[in-house]
Amino acid sequence: MAAEKAPDTYGITAPYGDELNDDVTHWDRIGEFPHDKWKPLQRSGLFTLPFAPEYGGAGRTLTETMAALEGLGHTSRDAGLNFSASTQIVSVGIPLQAFGSEELRGRYLPQVTSGEAITAHAITEPSHGSDVMNIRTTAVREGDEYVLNGGKMFITNAPVAGLFLLYVRTGKPGAFGLSTFLAERDTPGLTVGEPLETMGLRTSPISEVTLEDVRLPVGNRLGSEGAGFLIMDYVMKREVLFSFAVNLGEMTHRLKRVVEHATTRQQFGSAIGKNQAVAHKIADMRIAVETARKWLYDTGLKVQQGKDASLDVAATKIVVSEANQLTAQHAIQIFGARGYLTGTGIERELRNATAGSIYSGTNEIQRNCIAALMGL
Ligand SMILES: Cc1cc2nc3c(=O)[nH]c(=O)nc-3n(C[C@H](O)[C@H](O)[C@H](O)COP(=O)(O)OP(=O)(O)OC[C@H]3O[C@@H](n4cnc5c(N)ncnc54)[C@H](O)[C@@H]3O)c2cc1C
């Protein structure tokens, strides 16, 4: 957010910058979740923000939470950790607060807001990625329990998570046959696969989750049977706003680095930024960052006010993810060979930015949604 109007939440992770940025290149290289860096995030209060005080939350608004995540993106060069942190807020806590029973909220929300239980949500399946309305994992009711069978894929945080929100089929084909259940990691029949090797966001572990005769009490269902799609829609709007607010902070930091480099690196007797070819790239980066900011906070406010924002959320997701990729690409070019070296962290940003056009619904699917909302 612009400095003059940034909520006080923006800077809450800033005091932990040294801890968060310790040896980021090493952690990226080994591709492991940095457990010790979770602790400063817990201490910062980041995970408490949008939750009610009775569950250990700070009772802050959606846009105040976005500002904190933007601040995290600006402070922390570990985009994988940042992504895992925004997943922590949105995957279980947000739907649990909005749709969980009082008993479920009381039992699990304090573990989420403290960050003691790392959380994940499992929607995607090996055979159904974009075609999410046709997922096949089933939950069949038997008395006071449901029995779940199926498999989930590419689940962020799964290798380290203690709590999972599972989107499964309880009824007829299509969107209104879906329901949502909360499961603890050690529930018999729930198996988490080995972490999958990835191109970017390498400190945010993803894996498969297999469900074989997983028995969950009826009380672990969020909302009514068939409410899974409505819950998913509610969650995905906030996932886009939270995870891409992180990207805004990362882009703002990147732009500052690029301006500093372009004004200090001398070639042919002057700063490289004096060349129009370089300066125009930086101008385009600035436009991309400010466009991303406008879309994010305008859409965030609409969602916060309960207005219809389906088209806005889809557009925001496209604008910010593509701005992130463009600015990361320009940064490498402007840094030259130094940008290509792993040690400077510039090339890592391009690898990290690549995932943004895939997760939270691919950009093709978002464009399909916008077209459909326009009656096409
Ligand atoms: C870093 C990362 C983290 C993730 N975390 C999670 C998570 O926590 N939980 C979870 O459930 N999932 C997660 N996912 C999975 C993600 O949601 C899916 O990858 C995504 O929905 C796309 O599914 P797919 O990869 O199977 O691609 P596919 O659906 O196979 O699509 C492949 C390509 O075809 C295009 N395509 C497909 N259908 C159409 C169409 N009708 N029109 C135009 N183009 C089309 C797609 O846009 C894409 O370019 C994550 C993915 C990534 C990369």
How confident is the model over 40-68, as pLDDT tens digits? 999 999 999 999 999 999 999 999 999 99
The mean pLDDT of 247-264, rounded to a whole number, is 98
Whether 107 has a pLDDT exceeding 80, the answer reads: yes
Q: Produce one character per residue of 351-361: b if its CB has 16 or more CB atoms within 10 Å, e if not.
A: bbbbbbbebbb
Instruction: Say what percent of the chain tops pLDDT 90.
Output: 98
**Which of 208, 359, 363 most suits a substitution to test ligand 1, by most atoms within 8 Å of the C-beta?**
359
The mean pLDDT of 143-154, rounded to a whole number, is 98
For residue 305 the two structure tokens come to 């006010």
Q: What is the pLDDT of residue 1?
A: 46
Distance 217 CA to ligand 1 centre (A): 30
Q: Produce one character per residue of 247-273: b if its CB has 16 or more CB atoms within 10 Å, e if not.
A: bbbbbbbbbebbeebbeeeeeeeebbb
CA 160 vs. chain centroid, Å, equals 16
Whether 3 has a pLDDT exceeding 90, the answer reads: no
pTM: 0.97
* Ligand 1 atom with minimal separation from the 157 CA: 8
Query: Residues near ligand 1 with C-beta < 6 Å?
Result: 120-124, 129-130, 154-156, 201, 206, 355, 358-359, 361-362, 364-365, 368
Distance linking the first and last C-alpha atoms of the chain: 34
* Ligand 1 atom with minimal separation from the 167 CA: 11
Distance 15 CA to ligand 1 centre (A): 35
Round to whole Å and give the CA distance between 150 and 338.
46
Q: Which residue is closest in CA terms to ligand 1's atom 35?
A: 364
CA count, 13 A, side-chain hemisphere, 231: 33
Whether 123 has a pLDDT exceeding 60, the answer reads: yes
| Mean of all residue pLDDT scores within the chain | 97
Distance 240 CA to ligand 1 centre (A): 14
Q: For residue 112, name the pLDDT band (cuts at 50, 70, 90).
A: very high
Distance 75 CA to ligand 1 centre (A): 29
* Ligand 1 atom with minimal separation from the 152 CA: 11
Q: Is 305 helix (H, G, I), strand (E, B) or coil?
A: coil
Q: What is the pLDDT of residue 4?
A: 52
The mean pLDDT of 327-349, rounded to a whole number, is 97
Q: Which residue is closest in CA terms to ligand 1's atom 24?
A: 129
Round to whole Å and give the CA distance between 341 and 332.
9
Query: Residue 178 in contact with residue 223, Cβ under 8 Å?
Result: no
Whether 313 has a pLDDT exceeding 80, the answer reads: yes
Q: Which residue is closest in CA terms to ligand 1's atom 41?
A: 365
> Which residues are catalytic, by number?
239
**Which of 86, 131, 134, 154 most suits a substitution to test ligand 1, by most atoms within 8 Å of the C-beta?**
154
* Ligand 1 atom with minimal separation from the 156 CA: 8
Q: Which residue is closest in CA terms to ligand 1's atom 44?
A: 364
